[in-house]
Amino acid sequence: MPMIPNTSGKFIVLEGLEGSGKSTQAKILAESLPNSHLTHEPSDSIPGSLCREIISGKGNITQSSLSLLLIADRIEHLNNYITPILKSGQNIICDRYYLSNMAYQASMSLSDKDIYELNKKFGAISPDLTIFLEVTPQEAMERVNLRKGQEGIFDNLKALERIDINYRQAIDFLISKGEKIVKIQAVNNIDDIAKEILHRISVAFSFHA
């Protein structure tokens, strides 16, 4: 198994549209990299649980309000889970982080830049690497339609098209801020995508997978 040769833990985030396969790939990655812990956002904190209910359609608040609630969850997640593990020298594999926040909640009242700056104001750290799994909104919608009983407020083509555009803009913005983000086509089989993710990590952190 590949090992990241560094005494400090690495913070690796997987991102993508609904149906991109990021949760599956995050799990595979956490099992492939030694000393790695898998987590997700929204987290299991009190604000995170509330966020999940709202996203699943059990509630009705503005996207700006949801964004602030997600930031509150993120700070709890960082303080109580992510940061202590990283400081111990172990790795974090996170399914979604503030790039999702920027892509999903950006609106006329709160831009992706506003969301980024609010995250930073309240202490959100930058990932060491973000991996964005690329699928088209149409492909994502086809995969979402295969799920049963898991529909949420973003599980429609119009929303996914808007989010896809926001993702592209937010990625460019974060790269301009010096963040390391790689894009991987998520249309191949699961094993091939997992191998590509490990290869990109080996390049990013200069080790042999």
Q: pLDDT at position 5, please?
A: 46
- What are the pLDDT digits (tens) for 130-182? 999 999 999 999 999 987 666 789 999 999 999 999 999 999 999 999 999 99
The pLDDT of residue 121 is above 90: yes
Token pair recorded at residue 163:
């989010």
Residue 60 has a pLDDT of 86
What confidence tens digit (pLDDT) does each residue in 179-209 have? 999 999 999 899 999 999 999 999 999 865 4
Lookup result for tokens 């086509």: 185
> For 119, how many CA atoms within 13 A lie in the half-sphere containing its CB?
26
pTM of the model: 0.93
pLDDT at residue number 150: 63
Residues 63-110: pLDDT tens digits? Answer: 999 999 999 999 999 999 999 999 999 999 999 999 999 999 998 889
For the chain, strand residue ranges (E) read 11-16, 36-40, 91-95, 129-134, 181-185
Mean pLDDT over each residue of the chain, to the nearest integer? 93
pLDDT tens digits, 2-58: 545 445 799 999 999 999 999 999 999 999 999 999 999 999 999 999 999 999 999
